[in-house]
Amino acid sequence: MEQQKVTINELVKRLTDEMLRIGYSKQTIYRNFIPNMMHVVHFYEATGTVYYSPASSAEYLSYNIERCKRGEITDHYVRQIRSTISKMDEFFTTGTLRIRSNKHGTTYIISAENERLIDQFIGWKNYGPNTRDDVRWVVRKYLFYLESRGFSSLADVSVDAVKDFILQTASDVKAASLHNILLYLKYFHMFLKENSISAPDCVELFSYKVYREMPIQSYVTDEELSCIFNVIDRDTDAGKRDYAIIQLSATTGLRASDIINIKLSDIDWRKGEIRIKQRKTNREIVIPLVNEAAAAVQDYILNARPASENAELFLRVNPPCYAIMDAAAIGDMFKRYEKKAGIERQALDGKGFHGLRRRLAKKLLISGSPTTEIAQILGHNDVDSVRQYLSLDTANIKECALDFSGIPLSRKEFG
User: Under a CB-based contact definition with an 8 Å cutoff, are residues 279 and 295 in contact?
Assistant: no
Task: Write the CATH number for 129.
Answer: 1.10.150
- Order the strands of the 412-413 sheet from edge to edge: 267-268, 273-277, 284-288, 412-413
Tell me the C-alpha distance between 326 and 260, whole Å.
Answer: 8
Within-domain flag for 159: yes
Count of all residues that appear for the chain in the document: 415
Residues 6+ positions from 326 with CB-CB distance below 8 Å: 32, 76, 80, 128, 129, 260
User: Under a CB-based contact definition with an 8 Å cutoff, are residues 260 and 312 in contact?
Assistant: yes
Per the model's pLDDT, the better-predicted residue between 100 and 81 turns out to be 81
Task: Write the CATH number for 393.
Answer: 1.10.443.10
Share of the chain above pLDDT 70, in %: 80
- Domain boundary among the residues 72, 94, 116 is at 94
* Burial of 134 per CB tally in 10 Å (0-12, 13-18, 19+): middle
Q: Do 246 and 343 have their domain in common?
A: yes
Report field, pTM of the whole predicted structure over 0.85: no
How many domains would you assign to the chain?
3
What's the CA angle centered on 147, arms 146 and 149, to 5 degrees? 65
Within-domain flag for 48: yes
Tell me the C-alpha distance between 158 and 146, whole Å.
Answer: 10
Q: Do 245 and 199 have their domain in common?
A: no
Within-domain flag for 2: no
Within-domain flag for 183: yes
Distance of CA 322 to the CA centre of its chain: 17
The mean predicted confidence, pLDDT, of the chain is: 81
Q: What is the pLDDT of residues 332-359, one digit of tens each?
A: 899 999 999 999 887 667 788 988 988 8
Q: Do 64 and 197 have their domain in common?
A: no
Tell me the C-alpha distance between 115 and 307, whole Å.
Answer: 42
Is it the case that residue 308 has pLDDT exceeding 80?
yes
